[in-house]
């Protein structure tokens, strides 16, 4: 279990995160959701070990890891731009991290991951010959063969279009189910957070606005902010679709 206890952070005297305390169970998919500048990436980087909190603690399986450096935490992140090596083909990207730690995944395990992410037909392609969704899957495979204890994803779906988005969402769910892996995702899209996660952490101005299951958030938003920010966006989306259908029906008549 990962426990964040009273995490607080300021930059240049400006408070960015304020007493963030949540528990994350093993195998859960958690989304961190909030408006731009609310502190989502700062919190993700704190869990990863890239940013130190000013105060508070991070516990992993009851061990205090607050001062443990990033490489020793054995968590791993897929960045928004995938950060793949353009001069290597897809397969070489996937196994890159194993060159110094070959015992982490056997060749059989690497190919199981390639199968899980449906990458076999693309292994010999250069990165610039891959679509956005294929690049995302290569980035996921490259990270997963290193068997991270926790997988962090920074806006994993924002660059993908609708159909590919749904397929990557399904794969992320399968990875959590089949590997029992804890996955923490940063997003600013309420629909993505509510449809993908077991629990959603909504942060606003550096504070926990609500931390609950998607169902609880939809049925009982605990503040005007949650209702406005989250539910209003979904309502607007729904209205836009209904309006579109209305116009189409109108134009057919
Ligand atoms: N290294 C830094 N130095 C100074 N200020 C920073 C630094 N990193 C982040 N901030 C500030 O902290 C606040 C929160 O930033 P953060 O990137 O965590 O927000 P976010 O919710 O991820 O935003 P977005 O959705 O736009 O990516 C912002 O006001 C940002 O300008």
Per-residue pLDDT of 23-39, as tens digits, reads 999 999 999 999 888 99
In a domain, 227, yes or no: no
Q: Are residues 11 and 113 in the same domain?
A: no
Query: pLDDT at residue 167 above 70?
Result: yes
Residues 170, 59 share a domain? yes
Lowest mean pLDDT among 75-84, 98-107, 187-196, 216-225: 75-84
* Ligand 1 centroid to residue 154 C-alpha, Å: 13
User: Per the domain annotation, does 233 fall within a domain?
Assistant: no
Res. 249: pLDDT tops 60: no
**Any domain includes 234:** no
Which residue did the predictor score with more confidence, 46 or 175?
46
- How many domains does the chain contain in total? 2
Name the residue of 41, 203, 208, 209 whose CB sits within 8 Å of the most ligand 1 atoms, as the mutation to test its pocket.
41
Domain match, 155 and 144 both? no
Q: Is it the case that residue 103 has pLDDT exceeding 70?
A: yes
Answer yes or no: do 218 and 94 share one domain. Answer: no
**Contact assessment for residue 137 and residue 168, using Cβ atoms and an 8 Å cutoff:** yes
> pLDDT: is 196 or 81 the higher one?
196
Count of Cβ atoms closer than 10 Å to residue 197 Cβ: 24
Q: What is the CATH number of the domain that holds 4?
A: 3.40.50.300
CA–centroid distance, 3 to ligand 1, in Å, is: 22
Listed residues 148, 166, 181: the one ending a domain: 148
Helix axes 132-144, 107-116, angle to 10 degrees: 150
Taking the CA atoms of the chain, what radius of gyration do you get in angstroms? 20
Are both 121 and 1 inside the same structural domain? no
The pair of three-digit structure tokens given for residue 200, joined into one six-digit string = 């959603």
Domain stops at, among 115, 148, 181 = 148
Beta-carbon contacts of residue 77 (< 8 Å; ≥ 6 apart): 44, 48, 143, 151, 152, 153, 154
Decide: residue 247, CB within 10 A, 0-12 exposed, 13-18 middle, 19+ buried: exposed
Distance 244 CA to ligand 1 centre (A): 36
Closest-CA residue, ligand 1 atom 5, reads 11
253 pLDDT exceeds 50?
Answer: no
State which of 148, 169, 204 marks the end of a domain. 148
Same domain, 57 and 88: no
- The label of the residue with tokens 């579109």 reads 244
Residue-number span of the structural domain to which 194 is assigned: 1-74+150-222
The ipTM assigned to this model is: 0.97
Q: Measure the CA–CA gap between 195 and 206, rounded to whole angstroms.
A: 23
Kindly report, residue by residue over 39-82, the tens digit of the pLDDT. Answer: 999 999 999 999 999 999 999 999 999 999 998 998 999 887 77
Q: How far is the CA of 214 from the centre of ligand 1 (A)?
A: 25
Q: Which of 57-66, 175-184, 231-240 has the lowest mean pLDDT?
A: 231-240
Same domain for 98 and 11: no
For residues 167 and 190, membership in a common domain is answered with yes
Span 80-97, average pLDDT: 91
pLDDT digits 0-9 by tens, 129-161: 998 889 989 999 999 999 899 999 998 887 777
Q: Kindly state whether residue 247 falls inside one of the protein's structural domains.
A: no
- Please give the mean pLDDT across all residues of the chain: 89
166 & 102 share domain: no
Atom 28, ligand 1: which residue's CA is nearest?
Answer: 37
pTM: 0.88
Q: Which residues line ligand 1 (CB under 6 A)?
A: 11, 16, 34, 36-42, 188
Q: Which residue has the higher pLDDT, 232 or 60?
A: 60
């Amino acid at each position: 279990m990962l426990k964040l206890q009273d995490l607080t952070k300021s930059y240049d005297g400006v408070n960015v995160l304020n007493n963030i305390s949540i528990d994350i169970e093993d195998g859960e998919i958690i989304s961190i959701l909030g408006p731009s500048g609310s502190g989502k990436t700062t919190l993700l980087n704190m869990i990863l070990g890239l940013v130190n909190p000013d105060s508070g603690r991070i516990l992993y399986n009851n061990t205090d890891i607050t001062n443990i450096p990033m490489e020793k935490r054995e968590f791993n992140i897929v960045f928004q731009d995938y950060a793949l090596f353009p001069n290597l083909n897809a397969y070489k990207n996937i196994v890159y991290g194993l060159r110094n730690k070959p015992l982490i995944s056997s060749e059989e395990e690497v190919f199981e991951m390639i199968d899980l992410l449906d990458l076999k037909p693309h292994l010999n392609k250069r990165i610039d010959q891959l679509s956005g969704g294929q690049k995302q899957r290569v980035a996921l495979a490259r990270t997963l063969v290193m068997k991270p204890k926790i997988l962090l994803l920074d806006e994993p779906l924002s660059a993908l279009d609708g159909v590919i988005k749904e397929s990557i969402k399904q794969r992320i769910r399968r990875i959590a189910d089949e590997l029992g892996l804890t996955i923490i995702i940063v997003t600013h899209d309420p629909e993505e957070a509510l449809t993908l996660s077991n629990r959603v952490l909504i942060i606003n101005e550096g504070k926990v606005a609500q931390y609950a299951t998607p169902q609880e958030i939809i049925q009982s938003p605990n503040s005007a902010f949650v209702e406005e920010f989250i539910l209003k966006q979904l309502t607007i989306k729904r209205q836009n679709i209904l309006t579109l259908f209305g116009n189409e029906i109108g134009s057919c008549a």
